[in-house]
A and B are shown apart, each in its own frame.
Chain A
Amino acid sequence: MSRPRIGWAIALVAILVAWQAWVRLRDVPDYLLPAPTDILAALRDDRGRLASDAAQTAGEMLAGFAAAVGFGLVSAAALHFSTTLRRAVYPLLVASQSVPVVAIAPVLVIYLGFGLAPKVAIVALVCFFPVTVNALDGLRSVDPEYLRVMRTLRGSRLSIFRRVEVPWALPAAFSGARVAASYAAVAALFAEYAGGSSGLGETMQTATAQLDAPLVGAAVVVLAALALALFAAVSLVERVAIPWARRAA
């Protein structure tokens, strides 16, 4: 293990030990703050329920994230090609980010029902923005020297886009995708809060109502694991897809 990773592990263990000691020594009731061992026990006892919840939430995260990446990249390309569209839509896009998800989630549930659709839509809405903005920035930040040299090398608008702008923008698009990946879990949680009958969000809601804090903690741990897994997966795809990005920098 490299040095920064050791540091990370030591910090985590220290926090867990301090937390455990605090709860046990002060006799904190578990509905206020469950000890790490209580959460561990909940993870073990409720593993069946948590696993099916995790599958549900992971499905929403993945579908929403994939939709956001797809729509985000297409939108970024469209905004890149059309100045008129960019001037008209971009400010609205930025403004749309100030609308809280909690406010629009119930509306989407009314429109799309209680199934998978509103959850995927909410995750996609949240993840769409960082992908679009980063990809668009990438497309627009190409070194103009590259564009000039492409023009003297018989490059049409389309071939400049395909052979220079898209590869140039990929590292930025991946940064956006990583940010989006880290939002996806919380977005899925909001979606399930707004109208879900299963998933980690729904379990958290019922467990909170029943003052079952260890189960809430267990669901949070699983959700964090899902978020980390999606983030790591995106980073892995980035490494494989654009190995030159780190070397050329």
Chain B
Amino acid sequence: MHAVSEIVVADATKAYGDVAVLDRVSLEVAAGETVGLVGRSGCGKSTLLRLIAGLDAPDTGRVTAGGAEEEAARLERCALMPQADLLMPWRDALGNASLPLENAGVDRRAARAQAAELFAELGLGGFERARSWELSGGMRQRVAFARTLLAGKPVLLLDEPFGALDAITRGEMQEWLAGALHARPRTAVLVTHDLDEALRLCDRVVVLTARPGRVACELDGAGPADPAREQAVEALR
């Protein structure tokens, strides 16, 4: 375990109405670490991500980011990339990516210039003026990722970023994301229902049980024959 914990989730419980979504989940993510959060659909992965992001509060237990527990402070440290790309059709690709800069008060032209540099790095060169409906699923996710990066926050929360993509594009995008995260190391939490994807991209993988989500087990880059992997596969069944 790394020395400094950027994210700490301690005994967090969350229910929506009568439906218990998370049940005493504890989790720590060290600064600079990439952690995968794996579980079946509806097990509360996205809810947990929202708690970390500061968009919601746990019913009981504690969630901190950078040592701070207030929602506003967590919101200040975390950028969330949602499952659907949520690009805005009234903005072009560059305008979508530069949104967080404009929100932070950067002049529109300067914001676009800054986003354009990142576009070149992320393989989006030439698509600056494209509208969301003109982009493929993979390209849209890249724009959404650029937007998340440009929020300039120390923690990236990625909620099934490749969930809507076909298998081939998904494979390409996994490689692309691994490269992008390697080039700009951040603390990152990647939610996915695909154990292999998590193992490929993350330093450590936390497996949640079916709803209400609890931590079933943790893996450190387990190989195919690792017994921990067997355990994880069992938990996901």
A residues neighboring B (CB under 8 Å): 143, 145-146, 148-156, 159, 163-164, 167, 170, 242, 244-245, 247-248
Question: Is the CB–CB distance between A151 and B55 below 8 Å?
Answer: yes
Contacts A145-B82, A148-B55; is A247 near B133 (CB within 8 Å)? yes
Q: How far is the CA of A242 from the CA of B153 in the complex (A)?
A: 32
Restricting to B50-109, which residues have a CB under 8 Å from any CB of A? 50, 53-55, 75, 78-80, 82, 84, 86, 88-90, 99-100, 102-104
Contacts A145-B82, A159-B103, A163-B102; is A153 near B147 (CB within 8 Å)? yes
Partner of B79, one of A146, A152, A244: A152
> Can you list 22 residue pairs at the A/B interface with Cβ under 8 Å?
A143-B86, A146-B86, A146-B88, A148-B80, A150-B99, A151-B55, A152-B53, A152-B78, A152-B151, A152-B157, A153-B100, A153-B103, A154-B100, A154-B103, A155-B103, A159-B103, A167-B88, A170-B90, A245-B89, A247-B89, A247-B133, A248-B89
Among B54, B99, B104, B132, max chain A CB count under 10 A is at B99
Interface residues on B, range: 20 to 34
Question: Is the CB–CB distance between A150 and B103 below 8 Å?
Answer: yes
Q: How far is the CA of A152 from the CA of B99 in the complex (A)?
A: 11
Task: Please name all residues of chain A whose beta carbon is closer than 8 Å to the beta carbon of B104 when the two chains form the complex.
Answer: 154
Task: Please name all residues of chain B whose beta carbon is closer than 8 Å to the beta carbon of A143 when the two chains form the complex.
Answer: 86
Q: How far is the CA of A170 from the CA of B88 in the complex (A)?
A: 13
Task: Please name all residues of chain A whose beta carbon is closer than 8 Å to the beta carbon of B90 when the two chains form the complex.
Answer: 167, 170, 242, 244
Q: How far is the CA of A245 from the CA of B88 in the complex (A)?
A: 11
A-B contacts at CB below 8 angstroms, number: 64
Q: How far is the CA of A81 from the CA of B148 in the complex (A)?
A: 27
Main secondary structure of the interface of A (DSSP, over half): helix
A243 to chain B, nearest CB (A): 9
Q: How far is the CA of A163 from the CA of B98 in the complex (A)?
A: 12
Contacts A154-B151, A244-B131, A247-B131; is A149 near B89 (CB within 8 Å)? no
Q: How far is the CA of A245 from the CA of B102 in the complex (A)?
A: 23
Question: Is the CB–CB distance between A151 and B82 below 8 Å?
Answer: no
Main secondary structure of the interface of B (DSSP, over half): mixed
Q: How far is the CA of A185 from the CA of B77 in the complex (A)?
A: 55
Contacts A163-B88, A245-B89 given; 11 further ones with Cβ under 8 A? A145-B84, A146-B88, A152-B80, A152-B153, A153-B147, A153-B151, A154-B104, A159-B103, A167-B88, A244-B90, A248-B132
Task: Please name all residues of chain A whose beta carbon is closer than 8 Å to the beta carbon of B89 when the two chains form the complex.
Answer: 244-245, 247-248
Q: How far is the CA of A236 from the CA of B55 in the complex (A)?
A: 40
Chain B residue nearest to A164 in the complex (CB): B88
Question: Is the CB–CB distance between A152 and B55 below 8 Å?
Answer: yes
Q: How far is the CA of A224 from the CA of B82 in the complex (A)?
A: 49
Chain A residue nearest to B147 in the complex (CB): A153
Chain B residue nearest to A153 in the complex (CB): B100
Please encode chain B, from 157 to 186, with 1 for each CB lying within 8 Å of some chain A CB and 0 for all others: 100000000000000000000000000000
Task: Please name all residues of chain B whose beta carbon is closer than 8 Å to the beta carbon of A153 when the two chains form the complex.
Answer: 79, 99-100, 103, 147-148, 151
B98 to chain A, nearest CB (A): 10
What are the 10 tightest A-B residue pairs by CB atom distance, in nearest-first order? Answer: A248-B89, A153-B100, A167-B90, A152-B80, A154-B103, A244-B89, A155-B103, A159-B103, A154-B104, A153-B151
Task: Please name all residues of chain B whose beta carbon is closer than 8 Å to the beta carbon of A156 when the two chains form the complex.
Answer: 103
Question: Is the CB–CB distance between B131 and A163 below 8 Å?
Answer: no
Task: Please name all residues of chain A whose beta carbon is closer than 8 Å to the beta carbon of B80 when the two chains form the complex.
Answer: 148-149, 152
Q: How far is the CA of A145 from the CA of B157 in the complex (A)?
A: 15
Task: Please name all residues of chain A whose beta carbon is closer than 8 Å to the beta carbon of B88 when the two chains form the complex.
Answer: 146, 163-164, 167
Task: Please name all residues of chain B whose beta carbon is closer than 8 Å to the beta carbon of A151 when the two chains form the complex.
Answer: 55, 75
A31 to chain B, nearest CB (A): 55
Q: How far is the CA of A148 from the CA of B88 in the complex (A)?
A: 14
Task: Please name all residues of chain A whose beta carbon is closer than 8 Å to the beta carbon of B131 when the two chains form the complex.
Answer: 244, 247-248
Question: Is the CB–CB distance between A159 and B84 below 8 Å?
Answer: no
B103 to chain A, nearest CB (A): 4
Partner of A159, one of B79, B82, B102, B157: B102
Task: Please name all residues of chain B whose beta carbon is closer than 8 Å to the beta carbon of A247 when the two chains form the complex.
Answer: 89, 131, 133
Task: Please name all residues of chain B whose beta carbon is closer than 8 Å to the beta carbon of A163 when the two chains form the complex.
Answer: 88, 99, 102-103
